[in-house]
């Protein structure tokens, strides 16, 4: 039995597994068995996903050999080749594209099928950085808006108290936040439970009555997707008009709340108070105004506002689903502002909202494997890679490009490592498939993965990579986590599969970079190196690799007895500890955003903006249902597809309210076609009262499996989602979609 960190990919948790091996194969997986389970260092109990890895590991569909494409791209016709032939070809393609178009024509896209030190895309990044660089990206598909918008308020993304501090809260608003399913830190759901036992009242605000709403919430408030900023604004209206705001804190710590504290150069502009009271636009953001938008009763909005502003300290925890939407920046900023005007910032039991990366030692680095420096300075927003394929040469800052005025070239070589992004996880699958199928656009597609994913089907070269159980790794938490989890190599890769690191080392050799790339280390050698890195930063007492491995503890933890509170110094003395914002204060009004001069889409104070696809526009006539693609316990994004135990526990379904299903003749369990202008999917219906009328949910991540008619048989919601990006973060807005649904025609 070996203790190891769960491969966990990108689920939000980081758990401990105990893995039994017999005859070179994993035979059983259990979880943390430490004898103590104290809240300062609770057991890292794996969820059903972590417990299902045996089936994925031993799956018959694992990629076995390198393969090259023999049909048209996307036809998924492949022929086996030797590793030598495959790696020669990768090296020569990198050389050719580099020489023809420049290094910026090579792109290693976002992907989290594995992203652990020497596993996943990091070695490819390291190699390309040594080989002249490649077009980089910033931002992610998870956190685009929240990671960009939080600093517009606080100047930093480190806004989170450590979770043990949640036990001091009296009110917790789980706003679009569902820790039971997406976990968002192993034990986050458990800490909310503990807080509730200590007397906190918990309210879940979500269009779905999620697992978290059932297990953690005293009250569930369904809200129409994409309207969170409207409810937040109406809450501010109640707080302002009823005198529930923390005037002292606003005066000393905030900027732009009202006309008395506008930043220089924006003195006469619309303050937050102006917007809320409607002094400029003539629309007071009353609860009644918000009821029409959000479908939440005005009285409920007012009650929640009073509760959050009065029963302090309180936490307004923002989930990430609501920021993967058309104007996803707004609910992030609006939530932060509510935390600020109620004075919940910088105090125990409070919560500044925003992305809430961890303060003081708890922050995860995700990977410490050294990537070197990228000689190509240009970066694109991760979500805009198809734009860079189609019109990269002319893309500049207006399209989110950083580090260059123009890219100067289109993307010509895509090297997807542990990434099913290109087809499956990017928006508008049919569009992505058309783009990739055109061999004159991207000339070379290399995919390195464990399975023949929908992305791999569009590859020119498929390289079989090993799983986390087959190489060395180390994880340091996700968003939360006070542990280092060691992931020893437990079993050998099957057939000819190789580690991502070994594959990259082979390419490096062919590019004459082997020594620079490996520095004489193998995977284990790098993990030993990485541990020393962590020893220098947050984990001074971590044992060296040999001892760590020999102990078979699997983890090295830093128990949290005295949880850190973000902005405590700032709270105490804002002059001595200013925020890293331009003003040093909490920027309710952001002069930076104001200066962008796009108030309709990027207002300087957080506003509700009607989405470009919504129940209120003309599009609702043809497509009256809002569709959301929540995370499910059955997968981690598109990882773990095809594991029987998960599909048995959480079968893929369209979740639809009977009020929407019955008039359409959709029965429970019936096969349903869901479509919009971008495409159509087939998926079985689950009639449930646990979703609000007018909204349907199709959990994201199933593998695109189009039939001859182009209709996806496996219900991938990205067939329906849009490639349009958000105005400020250039982030994905994949949940902003309207659809229609009807019983599928019998065949």
Interface residues with other proteins (CB under 8 A) are 28-31, 33, 37, 45-48, 51-52, 54, 180-181, 186-187, 189-190, 193, 209, 211-212, 214-216, 218, 220, 222, 291-292, 295-298, 300, 633, 644-645, 648-651, 657-659, 668-669, 688-690, 692-694
Quote the tokens at residue 460: 């020119």
Burial zone of 68 (CB within 10 Å; 0-12 exposed, 13-18 middle, 19+ buried): middle
Please give the C-alpha separations between residue 519 and each of 513, 523, 533, in angstroms, as whole numbers: 10, 11, 16
Q: Which lies closer to other proteins via its Cβ, residue 34 or residue 312?
A: 34
Q: Which lies closer to other proteins via its Cβ, residue 27 or residue 252?
A: 27
**Terminal CA-to-CA distance of the chain, rounded, Å?**
50
Residue 6 CB, nearest distance to other proteins (Å)?
12
CA distance 599 to 606: 10
Residue 186 CB, nearest distance to other proteins (Å)?
8
Q: Are 447 and 332 in contact (CB under 8 A)?
A: no
Residue 51 CB, nearest distance to other proteins (Å)?
4
CA distance 446 to 462: 6
Rg (CA), the chain: 25
Peptide bond before residue 313 is cis, with ω within 30 degrees of 0 = yes
Residue 31 CB, nearest distance to other proteins (Å)?
6
Find all residues with CB under 8 Å of 732, minimum gap 6, and list them. 141, 144, 324, 383, 427, 725, 726
Q: Which lies closer to other proteins via its Cβ, residue 51 or residue 273?
A: 51
CA distance 422 to 717: 14
Q: Which lies closer to other proteins via its Cβ, residue 621 or residue 648?
A: 648
Residue 164 CB, nearest distance to other proteins (Å)?
16
Taken in order 252, 257, 260, 264, is the CA torsion positive or negative? positive
Q: Which lies closer to other proteins via its Cβ, residue 202 or residue 513?
A: 202
Q: Which lies closer to other proteins via its Cβ, residue 410 or residue 660?
A: 660
Q: Which lies closer to other proteins via its Cβ, residue 497 or residue 646?
A: 646
CA distance 36 to 505: 42
Q: Which lies closer to other proteins via its Cβ, residue 53 or residue 351?
A: 53
What is the DSSP-derived secondary structure letter of residue 48? Answer: T
Q: Which lies closer to other proteins via its Cβ, residue 178 or residue 386?
A: 178
Kindly compute the dihedral angle of the four CA atoms of residues 369, 375, 376, 382, in this order, to the nearest 10 degrees.
Answer: 10
Quote the tokens at residue 678: 């971008």
Q: Are 85 and 474 in contact (CB under 8 A)?
A: no
Q: Which lies closer to other proteins via its Cβ, residue 212 or residue 399?
A: 212
Residue 675 CB, nearest distance to other proteins (Å)?
24
Q: Which lies closer to other proteins via its Cβ, residue 16 or residue 380?
A: 16
Sheet architecture: strand order including 106-107? 78-80, 67-69, 461-464, 444-449, 413-417, 106-107
Q: Which lies closer to other proteins via its Cβ, residue 68 or residue 690?
A: 690
Residue 671 CB, nearest distance to other proteins (Å)?
14
Q: Which lies closer to other proteins via its Cβ, residue 23 or residue 600?
A: 23
Q: Are 110 and 7 in contact (CB under 8 A)?
A: no
Residue 52 CB, nearest distance to other proteins (Å)?
6
Residue 30 CB, nearest distance to other proteins (Å)?
6
Strand partners, 299: none
- Length of the chain equals 747
Please give the C-alpha separations between residue 124 and each of 33, 96, 106, 140, 415, in angstroms, as whole numbers: 36, 17, 11, 18, 8
Residue 562 CB, nearest distance to other proteins (Å)?
23
Residue 173 CB, nearest distance to other proteins (Å)?
17
Alpha helices in 50-187 (DSSP H): 53-57, 83-101, 122-130, 144-154, 179-182
Q: Which lies closer to other proteins via its Cβ, residue 37 or residue 677?
A: 37
Q: What interhelical angle do 500-510 and 523-536 show, nearest 10?
A: 110
Residue 687 CB, nearest distance to other proteins (Å)?
9
Residue 16 CB, nearest distance to other proteins (Å)?
12
Q: Are 574 and 253 in contact (CB under 8 A)?
A: yes
Q: Are 40 and 164 in contact (CB under 8 A)?
A: yes
Assign 3-class secondary structure to 200-253.
CEEEEECCECCHHHHHHCCEEECCCCCCHHHHHHHHHHHHHHCCCCCHHHHHHH
Quote the tokens at residue 31: 């979880």
Q: Are 539 and 484 in contact (CB under 8 A)?
A: yes
Q: Give the pairing type, strands 67-69 and 461-464.
A: antiparallel
Residue 619 CB, nearest distance to other proteins (Å)?
20
Q: Which lies closer to other proteins via its Cβ, residue 156 or residue 657?
A: 657
Residue 280 CB, nearest distance to other proteins (Å)?
25
Q: Are 417 and 111 in contact (CB under 8 A)?
A: yes
Closest CA relative to residue 119, chosen from 371, 432, 418: 418
Q: Which lies closer to other proteins via its Cβ, residue 295 or residue 418?
A: 295
Residue 180 CB, nearest distance to other proteins (Å)?
4
Residue 47 CB, nearest distance to other proteins (Å)?
5
Q: Which lies closer to other proteins via its Cβ, residue 237 or residue 526?
A: 237
Q: Which lies closer to other proteins via its Cβ, residue 95 or residue 306?
A: 306
Residue 214 CB, nearest distance to other proteins (Å)?
5
* H/E segment holding residue 697: strand 695-697
Please give the C-alpha separations between residue 728 and each of 265, 522, 599, 604, in angstroms, as whole numbers: 21, 42, 11, 11
CA distance 428 to 424: 9
């Amino acid at each position: 039995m070996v203790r190891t960190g769960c491969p966990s990919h990108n689920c939000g948790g980081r758990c401990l597994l105990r893995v039994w091996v017999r005859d070179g194969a994993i035979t059983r997986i259990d979880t943390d068995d430490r004898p103590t389970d104290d809240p300062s260092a609770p057991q890292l109990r794996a969820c059903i996903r972590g417990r299902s890895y045996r089936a994925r590991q031993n799956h018959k569909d694992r990629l076995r050999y390198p393969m090259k494409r023999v049909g048209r791209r996307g036809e998924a016709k492949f022929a086996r080749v030797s590793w030598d032939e495959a790696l020669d070809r990768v090296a020569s393609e990198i050389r050719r594209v580099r020489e023809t178009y420049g290094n910026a024509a090579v792109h290693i896209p976002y992907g989290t099928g594995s992203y652990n030190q020497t596993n996943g895309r990091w070695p490819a990044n390291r190699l390309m950085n040594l080989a002249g660089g490649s077009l980089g990206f910033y931002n992610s598909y998870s956190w685009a808006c929240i990671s960009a918008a939080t600093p517009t308020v606080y100047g930093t993304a480190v806004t989170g108290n450590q979770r043990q501090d949640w036990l001091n809260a009296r009110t917790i608003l789980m706003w679009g936040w569902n820790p039971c399913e997406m976990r968002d830190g192993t034990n986050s759901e458990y800490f909310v439970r503990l807080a509730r036992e200590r007397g906190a009242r918990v309210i879940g605000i979500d269009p779905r009555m999620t697992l978290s709403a059932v297990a953690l919430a005293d009250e569930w408030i369904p809200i129409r997707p994409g309207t969170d900023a409207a409810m937040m604004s109406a809450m501010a209206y109640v707080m302002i008009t009823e005198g529930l705001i923390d005037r002292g804190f606003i005066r000393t710590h905030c900027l732009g709340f009202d006309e008395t504290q506008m930043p220089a150069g924006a003195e006469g502009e619309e303050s937050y108070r102006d917007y809320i009271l409607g002094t400029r636009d003539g629309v007071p953001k009353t609860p009644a105004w918000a009821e029409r938008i959000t479908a939440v009763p005005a009285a409920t909005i007012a009650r929640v506002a009073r509760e959050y502003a009065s029963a302090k300290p309180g936490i307004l925890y923002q989930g990430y689903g609501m920021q993967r939407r058309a104007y996803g920046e707004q609910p992030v900023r609006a939530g932060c502002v509510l935390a600020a005007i109620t004075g919940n910032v910088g105090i125990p039991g409070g919560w500044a909202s925003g992305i809430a990366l961890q303060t003081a030692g708890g922050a995860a680095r995700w990977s410490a494997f050294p990537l070197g420096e990228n000689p190509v300075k240009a970066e694109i927003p991760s979500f805009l890679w198809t734009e860079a394929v189609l019109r990269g040469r002319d893309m500049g800052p207006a399209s989110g490009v950083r580090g260059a005025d123009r890219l100067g070239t289109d993307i010509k070589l895509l090297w997807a490592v542990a990434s099913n992004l290109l087809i499956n996880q990017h928006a508008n699958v049919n569009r992505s498939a058309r783009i990739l199928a055109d061999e004159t656009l991207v000339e070379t597609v290399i995919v390195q993965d464990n399975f023949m994913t929908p992305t791999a089907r569009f590859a020119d070269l498929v390289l079989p990579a090993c799983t986390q159980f087959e190489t060395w790794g180390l994880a340091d938490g996700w968003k939360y986590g006070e542990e280092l989890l060691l992931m020893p190599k437990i079993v050998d890769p099957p057939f000819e599969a190789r580690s991502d690191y070994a594959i990259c080392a082979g390419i490096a050799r062919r590019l004459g970079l082997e020594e620079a790339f490996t520095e004489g280390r193998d995977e284990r050698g790098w993990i030993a190196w990485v541990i020393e890195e962590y020893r220098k930063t947050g984990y001074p007492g971590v044992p060296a690799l040999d001892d760590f491995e020999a102990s078979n503890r699997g983890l090295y933890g830093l128990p949290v007895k005295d949880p850190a509170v973000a902005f405590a110094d700032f709270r105490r003395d804002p002059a001595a500890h200013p925020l890293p914002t331009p003003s040093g204060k909490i920027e309710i009004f952001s002069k930076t955003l104001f200066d962008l001069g796009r108030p309709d889409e990027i207002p300087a104070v957080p506003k509700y903006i009607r989405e470009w696809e919504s129940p209120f526009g003309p599009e609702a006539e043809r497509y009256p249902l809002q569709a959301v693609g929540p995370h499910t316990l059955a997968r981690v994004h598109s990882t773990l597809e095809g594991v029987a135990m998960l599909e048995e526990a959480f079968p893929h379904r369209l979740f639809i309210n009977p009020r929407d299903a019955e008039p359409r003749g959709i029965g429970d369990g019936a096969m349903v076609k869901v479509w919009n202008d971008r495409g159509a999917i087939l998926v079985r219906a689950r009639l449930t009262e646990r979703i609000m009328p007018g909204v349907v949910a199709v959990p994201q991540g199933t593998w695109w499996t189009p039939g001859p008619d182009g209709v996806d048989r496996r219900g991938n919601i990205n067939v329906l989602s849009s490639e349009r990006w958000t105005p400020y973060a250039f982030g994905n807005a994949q949940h902003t979609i309207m659809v229609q649904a009807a019983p599928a025609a019998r065949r």
